[in-house]
Structure 1
């Protein structure tokens, strides 16, 4: 049956090609068992002249005798009408690295090549392009592409068949006319229209020659990448008809064939680009050290001498670097120059890479989706909003969506504007897919966005628990989250990962599921069923997903926080926790239907989740999203574009936004909430200078409390972090005796209320609750007091952690990581007593000082490298190393941190 189906597919393709192409085959009769003397399958290596056409033409020939597994770029693999065939023939999807790259794409590219190696050993046959891309000229230029060399490096004794296709250079499917890869389906549709204009059977036909040759004995199987690629280039670029012994290489001439039977109708090729440095680049102002670093790296990746690299060297065509090599250059820019998220397409020549490294030019912003401004601009009647009726988040969301219907709910630059009706439809359709995924807990790794909101709601509708994953904290944290929550799938997005840069996701690659791929997997039938279901009542939808019996005490979401220990702690929040906190905020402050909230905090932060994902969708307030809270200029632009009235963020993010923006961009803001860190005086000054005096207020919250505990109201005099929100009680106790303190006395801050969680995911962790006078209270770990007006004034933190950009970093975790990796670096540890101590100082408006004290010699660069290799957060940056013969300890044997801080931090501070 399989043979019959494959024959039918081959016959259909041959008929389709016949209308435009006349194909001549040479040498395929010699591709037979007696000439393939090595064990295993066959690796077919063709040149790549034209998008879509040459793989089909070659495959129709090869599959007469051999089953074939082609390597195909992912966007083609998943294309409508193509995906089913690709799955059937067991093709291997390869990430598209030409436009962008990230660590996940690199991992998946490696896996694809590994599958080829293993498949060849099993006797399977593969089709792979050595160049990895369409050729740019009549020459087949492979340059530094690494795929063939890597496969031969694992198994040089494989059967190789070379394939040369001549006649497609000049086709509309080639790069001959624009210099860029043509869009496949529009080009195909244009060809179909021309065929019908020529009455099908009278189409002018292009002559193609496909030549096969079993790799001869002089093929450099054990050669270097350059030797293998150079040999292949010479073989591909011989003109048709020359004998192999003829060393002449001229490449393939441009061949134009009319599209019309009735007249001469051709596409005109574009003139070749003149090599030059972009006018916007001033090489004289780029530091010489930066230039030399870039040249050395490019030469290293290309495997050439640095003398061969000049500023006008074109990285792709002159050096032939493939997508994996380009990805390495992108990662290098981030690691060496801290330039993140550079699209691969920006690395045109060496001069441009130098300018990007020197921050002389900024890579282009992602194109934004067209926004339906008419819908967003629709006038909304002002009324105070409250959380809709319901005991669980899905119930509340469906009730709220039913109430607001076609009213605008959310919007961002990628998805555009969505009404409540569309948001409900999307959540229901996606939930239909998610309910069949393995596991009760589903990871979500997405930034603040419409996509993150819709996905979170869909996971809950599907009867599963979303686990919000922090991608900034390193592989150790990620592994702990996966294991601790039993996650089998993580929903994320290529669009997000392309912007993420050099984040190590190797250990979770098997769990990653791209929303772009999910969208392709959701068939028409599922969409229709979802559309019909979304029109039903909230009760019927809840019944359909079998979540109508869920209660407020069921887990709604799981967050992870590092807190004061090296390992992250899983925090399950119930529907009751989150909904009670939202209702408390609505009782405490006035929020209106014509307010627009600007959500930038990632949803792995409890405030980013509660305020960004849930507050608007469960009340009726519009929410606009931007995915990067560190991009101040784009945040300012976003507030102006969406006319936002409310924004929240850490002081660091808010300062960057204010410094980058102009007063007129913020004229719609009426309320700015600062949290995660104490707001410095500079932030208040900036608010005044930008025309917003009295708009900034501080708040206080913790992941375990869902998260808001206190807020400064706009209609009251601000002080500290404000008064407790409705239904929340605070208690100040002595840190050691646990006795309640008088108003105004500093002590340990405790909290209780329906928003407080019930306990950590790992039941073996020490309980964070204290029983005081018969009542159970949550221990926040913070120190502070209640002033005469009932406002909480924080004075410090009890535990050994610091906050960087709103993230909690454990000093103990740094110590543990460095001790664990010490043998690799040859650091000699003490047989008795401590070997490492980490101390830190938080400085307002600056990065904290993190100092490592050790009994062994090291340096800052080596310690930071060790931190990265240990999987610590990229936020951890050691600023100083101190070498001591012995680390001081107290009588109990514990490290005397106070002495170290007095000696190396307090004593070094400048006097006021």
Structure 2
């Protein structure tokens, strides 16, 4: 049974293999050993079963990085449920859409994180499938929840026996060209195969100390984070909120060896008083963006002390990873490319006619292989648009390959831009802006920003008889959308430039011709 290719089976097997090692250490210093993973997760699984969750039901987690997040994820998967993580930056309207679309039956959340009570954000939204919200921070309520599972141990054995590698492990919601988040469905086996390969290429090994600042709700923090670490025998250090001084202190105090993150994370650390800390244990870093400055890669090695710095490219619809650089490659390759397709993944760069292009020619990046999602949850039309009849996933990203097969992402189709490591989708932001009673139309583009890489700029057409100013709209946006989506620049215009079919011509907005 321990050899089954499901996430709970493999983590529980790791629990026996690395029994006396620390598996997870919280920011408060509390430690959980590998031998503790299975009993802790099984107890949560039993309580989830007692709460009426059946195999295949969706269960959501809306909480920052912390040890309980991992145990709840393992518990719900052991119970046969499907994990639906929620971005901690979402507001009520955004979270309610995902909870409603997925039909999540349970929600695990926190009463207060960065002065936000997530439960209150959902007040007023109709979520008929949601039967309970469990506050992880309510000690009495949590104990009561766990007590529900008493006597359900045999049922957990049955649920675990029923898990297969082809069963869904998670649905991660990502936005697309329609502006509405879509749930990418992936299975246990494909995730494990992809991230065993990822861990091996990265060089993760038993005894590593892996500081996970990347959020668990994202594949970078979940699959490339704690999942990769635990199947490798590393110690996971969940870190809830990135803050350079606290991260530097933790690297020194806990002898961190692995620290992945977006380029902005390392740039921020280099701007902080890093010389005051002993960072000599740092060994592995992995980052990625359309472009990473060569100077940053150099400083990560020579100033922060990383022995290996790799870049990678991935997307949620392919379990989170597609290409990676190799250790020891020149800085120019690491900085300017995202490496080559990892084993089990096939890529092709095609032109508008769908034909493969030669090295050096930019085109759309297609992906095929074991990592491709099972489809978008309850959205056959979107699935058919994303995955063609030959099994190719159309990423919508524009890429160019060199003669060795290293790819470089040169642009994002559908006007997607990246804000501090987060993909921002103009259509989704426009859809959220449409909920404002004074707004008739909006168009959003990404504009360069020296700190975040890019930020949103919104062009707004007001409804007749309404007035609105930038400060008021910004405040409304901060209440109704994740901070990285909030437009930093707002222009009120009489009309948006459109072509004959009524499509907004965003190239004119970028050129300042609105």
| TM-score, normalised with respect to structure 1 | 0.51
Q: Distance in 2 between matches of 1:565 and 1:806?
A: 21
2:490 corresponds in structure 1 to: 881
Match of 1:459 among 76, 80, 86: 76
Q: CA deviation at 1:808?
A: 2.1
Q: Secondary structure at the match of 1:512?
A: strand
Q: Distance in 1 between matches of 2:311 and 2:254?
A: 23
Cα distance change on mapping 1:487 and 1:758 into 2, 3 Å: same
Alignment of 1:599-614 (within 5 A): 599-614=212-227
Asked whether the equivalents of residues 386 and 395 of structure 2 are also in contact (C-alpha less than 8 Å), the reply is no
Q: Does 1:787 align with 2:402?
A: yes
Q: Secondary structure at the match of 2:193?
A: helix
Q: Does 1:406 align with 2:20?
A: yes
Q: Distance in 2 between matches of 1:463 and 1:504?
A: 25
Higher-Rg member (1/2): 1
Match of 1:750 among 357, 366, 373: 366
Q: Does 1:799 align with 2:414?
A: yes
1:444 corresponds in structure 2 to: 61
Alignment of 1:515-554 (within 5 A): 515=136, 516-521=139-144, 544-554=157-167
- CA deviations 1:749-780 (Å, max 9, x no partner) are 01112111110003244224454xx7311111
- CA deviations 1:624-673 (Å, max 9, x no partner) are 22111x31111111122221111111122232233324244321111111
Asked whether the equivalents of residues 418 and 453 of structure 2 are also in contact (C-alpha less than 8 Å), the reply is no
- Greater RCO, 1 or 2 (C-alpha within 8 Å, sep 6+): 2
Asked whether the equivalents of residues 315 and 321 of structure 2 are also in contact (C-alpha less than 8 Å), the reply is yes
Q: Does 1:656 align with 2:273?
A: no
- CA deviations 1:490-513 (Å, max 9, x no partner) are 11234xx24353768431698421
2:135 corresponds in structure 1 to: 514
Match of 1:422 among 24, 31, 36: 36
Q: Distance in 2 between matches of 1:587 and 1:855?
A: 52
Cα distance change on mapping 1:775 and 1:681 into 2, 3 Å: same
2:340 corresponds in structure 1 to: 723
Q: Does 1:810 align with 2:425?
A: yes
Q: Secondary structure at the match of 2:214?
A: coil
Match of 2:211 among 583, 595, 598: 598
Asked whether the equivalents of residues 672 and 697 of structure 1 are also in contact (C-alpha less than 8 Å), the reply is yes
1:634 corresponds in structure 2 to: 246
Asked whether the equivalents of residues 396 and 618 of structure 1 are also in contact (C-alpha less than 8 Å), the reply is yes
- CA deviations 1:327-368 (Å, max 9, x no partner) are xxxxxxxxxxxxxxxxxxxxxxxxxxxxxxxxxxxxxxxxxx
Asked whether the equivalents of residues 558 and 570 of structure 1 are also in contact (C-alpha less than 8 Å), the reply is yes
Asked whether the equivalents of residues 563 and 809 of structure 1 are also in contact (C-alpha less than 8 Å), the reply is no
Asked whether the equivalents of residues 312 and 325 of structure 2 are also in contact (C-alpha less than 8 Å), the reply is yes
Q: What are the ranges of 5 or more consecutive residues in structure 1 without an aligned counterpart?
A: 1-387, 534-540, 830-834, 906-912
Q: Which has the higher strand share?
A: 2
Q: Secondary structure at the match of 1:708?
A: coil
Q: Secondary structure at the match of 1:624?
A: strand
Q: Secondary structure at the match of 2:399?
A: strand
Q: Does 1:820 align with 2:439?
A: no
1:892 corresponds in structure 2 to: 501
Asked whether the equivalents of residues 645 and 671 of structure 1 are also in contact (C-alpha less than 8 Å), the reply is yes
Q: Aligned-pair RMSD on alpha carbons? A: 2.8
Cα distance change on mapping 1:894 and 1:524 into 2, 3 Å: closer
Q: Secondary structure at the match of 1:649?
A: coil
2:259 corresponds in structure 1 to: 647
1:28 corresponds in structure 2 to: none
Cα distance change on mapping 1:740 and 1:421 into 2, 3 Å: same
790-799 vs 661-670, which moves further: 661-670
Asked whether the equivalents of residues 836 and 852 of structure 1 are also in contact (C-alpha less than 8 Å), the reply is yes
Q: Distance in 2 between matches of 1:599 and 1:715?
A: 24
Asked whether the equivalents of residues 463 and 545 of structure 1 are also in contact (C-alpha less than 8 Å), the reply is no
Q: CA deviation at 1:543?
A: 6.5
586-595 vs 472-481, which moves further: 586-595
Q: Distance in 1 between matches of 2:391 and 2:173?
A: 23
Cα distance change on mapping 1:503 and 1:457 into 2, 3 Å: closer
Q: Distance in 2 between matches of 1:737 and 1:517?
A: 61
Cα distance change on mapping 1:424 and 1:658 into 2, 3 Å: farther
Q: What are the ranges of 5 or more consecutive residues in structure 2 without an aligned counterpart?
A: 125-130
Cα distance change on mapping 1:556 and 1:525 into 2, 3 Å: closer
Alignment of 1:67-146 (within 5 A): none
Cα distance change on mapping 1:770 and 1:557 into 2, 3 Å: closer
- CA deviations 1:591-645 (Å, max 9, x no partner) are 22122211111111012111223112223222222111x3111111112222111
Q: Distance in 2 between matches of 1:447 and 1:881?
A: 30
Q: Does 1:665 align with 2:278?
A: yes
| TM-score, normalised with respect to structure 2 | 0.87
